[in-house]
Structure 1
Amino acid sequence: MSTTARRRRAALLCSLLLLGVLGMLPGWPAGPAKAATTDACGALIAKPGGGYWGCTFVDNFSGTVLDSSKWVVADSGISGFYMNGSCFDGSGVTQAGGYLRLSVVRQLQTCVTPLGNLPTTHRGSGVSSYGKFSQTYGRFEARMKFPAYRDAGYHGAFWMNPQNRDYGVWPGSGEIDVAEWFSDTPDNVYPSLHYTGSVGLLDTKWTCTVNRPDLFHTYAVEWSSVGMDFYYDGALCFSREWQATDLAKPAPFDRPFTVALTAASGGATNAPTPLTPFPAAFVADYVKVWN
């Protein structure tokens, strides 16, 4: 190779190297940035109308202590909350190995509440984002599993309640049950809405099922000003659009709602029997919310 050729080659290499260095300097124009594919909630999820949901709340239940900046523990003595003979005393909630466990035990005692004393047969447990987080509209999802029991006795849910009762006491201000489970119908998980004038055949889907509810499944609702779509393991199982006969639409579902996980004994046709084994545990892997 001639001296001239060697000089030209060296000059070309220097130019390429200089361009590469300059391309990494602050303020120097670079190639197009790669679009984000994840956020705090994990992989981005597409919205039905285009774009992606944006993460607003997430708890993967890592560590060994419940995050008190996100959750309050159900306590009947403070809130008056009582379910199907189950009292809540602020216990029964544990976190380990990346999971939240909510236990139900047989416990005969008097449940002391601000509304008066009530007889109780079992102690349930639960957590709620009340006073910590609430949101109007968006996507709300939990990954969880229910006890491996196929007879009467257990009742649990991933559900949502209004942060403020702007439309009055229950059911006036609404309730959104994303996934409600009863052990006497173990393969069914029920999405439903409660409000003044709600109708069971219109506002509850009685035929949503999952295979082996004692294994982990995802339960989600996508809530907008025109209705709600409920998805189990990514498949649409119930769609409720507001109709002309819903005179107050979308009220009461136009206010911020909190998220909750609850484990309790059954009730009515699902009441525990002496053969129902206790304690039992409901387990959650995560709760996530997007807007």
Structure 2
Amino acid sequence: MSRFNRRKLAALGVAGLIAFGFALAEAPAGNAATTAPDCGATVRKADGTAWRCSFADYFDGTKLSTARWKVVTSNDADYRSRKDCFVNSSKNVSVSGGILRLTTRRTAPFSCGTGMNKYTATGTSGMVSTMGRFFQTYGRFEMKAKWPYTKQIGLQGAFWLWPEGASGMTWPVSGELDIAEWFSKYPDRAIPYLHTASSILNPSGATNNYCILKNPADWHTYTLTWTKSRILIQYDGKTCLDAGGGSPYDKPFNVSLTQAWGVKKNAPTTSTPFPSTMQVSYVRVWK
């Protein structure tokens, strides 16, 4: 089964690969977030001790918090093999009523990217990350979200972690941790994937293609519990993937949310519903 982020990075031209470099943890100097995060009710680890809240966004107000998130655009990397363009527009990334909305659209052809990375796009998409704002090694990461459910192929969303400062040139050795990806080609489930140097050759321990959701268009929680020895991914509290830890998952990663066009066998057709929106109620992280 195809994977959003593997295809995403494979699509980046070798000479033009740029680190998605998502960065920062625990309110370092220069972080505009000055209040302590609130993750709500106490959540306890397996040993009974409490997790400590390190990041939380409930998307209050009418604008995305630039203290917590960066809108990622196609100018941040070489996306010449895609047909959509990641843009910083309120039509694609918006906040209202306590909800973050990431929207992908079909448009008239236009020029996307700059310089050698310029290409013709026929759609726009939305992506945000904690690049330059938050990163963390180990912890509990959780999102509550709705996918833009359809049985028509062409849509792809993701809740995923990327190693701070890493370049696509070192992928998948550097690692990538996909907590939940939703492909409209497989509309009744979300799919995790642990990208490592060995996962391409032996994917059996890196993914689970059968984590069925009762209704993907309804609110669900997607949770990662990440320790030195274990990576546990759960959807609505039910285990989807339980794998060992260790390298490359032993360094700081940060958080990304993406709603985009699908690619290859999940590429849009004339029947793909546009615009389509992924809705996120909150993102919370503990350590």
TM-score relative to the length of structure 1:
0.80
The residue matched to 2:174 in structure 1 has which SS?
Answer: coil
Contiguous gaps of at least 5 residues in structure 2: 1-36
Note the alpha carbon deviations across 1:143-187, whole angstroms, 9 max, x for none.
Answer: 000113112010000111011228962222111100000011111
The equivalent of 1:216 in structure 2 is: 219
The structure with the largest alpha-carbon Rg is 1
The equivalent of 2:150 in structure 1 is: 149
Note the alpha carbon deviations across 1:96-144, whole angstroms, 9 max, x for none.
Answer: 0000000100132232146522343321101100110000000000000
Q: Is the 8 A contact 2:196 2:248 kept in 1?
A: yes
Counterpart CA distance in 2 for 1:260 and 1:280 is: 18
The equivalent of 2:162 in structure 1 is: 161
Q: Is the 8 A contact 1:162 1:257 kept in 2?
A: yes
Q: Give the 3 Å change call, closer, same or farther, for CA 200–85 of structure 1 in structure 2.
A: farther
Note the alpha carbon deviations across 1:16-50, whole angstroms, 9 max, x for none.
Answer: xxxxxxxxxxxxxxxxxxxxxxx810011110122
1:191 deviation in Å?
0.9
Matched, 1:280 2:276: yes
The equivalent of 2:96 in structure 1 is: 96
The equivalent of 1:43 in structure 2 is: 41
The aligned amino acid for 1:240 is A
Q: Is the 8 A contact 1:79 1:113 kept in 2?
A: no
Q: Is the deviation greater in 157-166 or in 225-234?
A: 157-166
Note the alpha carbon deviations across 1:235-270, whole angstroms, 9 max, x for none.
Answer: 11110115xxxxxxx121111001010000111111
The residue matched to 1:229 in structure 2 has which SS?
Answer: strand
How many residues align structurally?
246
The aligned amino acid for 1:63 is G
Identity %: 39
The residue matched to 1:77 in structure 2 has which SS?
Answer: helix
Q: Give the 3 Å change call, closer, same or farther, for CA 197–113 of structure 1 in structure 2.
A: farther
Q: CA RMSD in A?
A: 1.8
Counterpart CA distance in 2 for 1:225 and 1:111 is: 40
**Aligned partner (choices 37, 57, 60) of residue 59 of structure 1:** 57
Contiguous gaps of at least 5 residues in structure 1: 1-38, 243-249
Note the alpha carbon deviations across 1:62-112, whole angstroms, 9 max, x for none.
Answer: 000110000000111134467843211212100000000001001322321
Q: Is the 8 A contact 2:152 2:271 kept in 1?
A: no
1:59 deviation in Å?
0.1
Counterpart CA distance in 2 for 1:84 and 1:209 is: 28
Q: Is the 8 A contact 2:80 2:118 kept in 1?
A: no
The residue matched to 1:43 in structure 2 has which SS?
Answer: coil
TM-score relative to the length of structure 2:
0.81
